Amino acid sequence: MLGGGFFFSKELTMSRPTPDRSGQHDAHRSMQTSKRVALVAHDNRKKDLIEWVEWNWSALLDHQLICTGTTGSLVEQALAKKLGKESEKKIAVRKLKSGPLGGDQQLGALIADGEIDVLIFLWDPMEPQPHDVDVKALLRIAVLYNVPTACNRSTADFMISSNLFTTEYSPILVDYSSYMRRDVKGVRDTGD
């Protein structure tokens, strides 16, 4: 057992991020003081997310916001309303596709590439979604890469009010290099 109740096999170890020497993109870099915050909400939870954004708007302005689908437009409108027409501060919300149209997968790819620091995903536990498998995959990738994830407003409140939200932070990550080098039964390495 390794701190926090985590169990690992012999092949997997917990470690601080180290540079990838293989020439591939290093997805395991430290979080800067300005976080890359993904905001996602299913239709029945968009109102909750927008209320949360309106409540926390001043804190969110210091971070890069990435959203799926119409959530991005709603977040942008809410922030513009809070800032007012006279503000010189520019609101930049990166908008991906709608979740069912591939936005959840785009977000998962950003997480895997180390381009998301925090995920606030207010998903609807009472309604089946046409893209439930994508939702599950997104949450799995967030856990795999140890991305702080809030699935309800209370957790989002705890996250944004944490001192870690505005300071540099190096998450402890699992080293999956042995998994990537594993032998697959029935497949021979041809050396190509």
**Active-site residue, selected from the candidate residues 48, 104, 132, 157:** 104
Indicate the pTM of the whole model.
Answer: 0.79
Instruction: Give tens-digit pLDDT for 96-120.
Output: 999 889 999 999 999 999 999 999 9
Q: Give the whole-angstrom CA distance, residue 99 versus residue 129.
A: 10
The pLDDT tens digits of the residues spanning 150-183 come to 999 999 999 999 999 999 999 888 888 888 888 8
> Is 43 one of the catalytic residues?
no
Tally of helices (H runs) and strands (E runs) in the chain: 7, 7
- d(CA 16, CA 93) in angstroms, rounded, equals 30
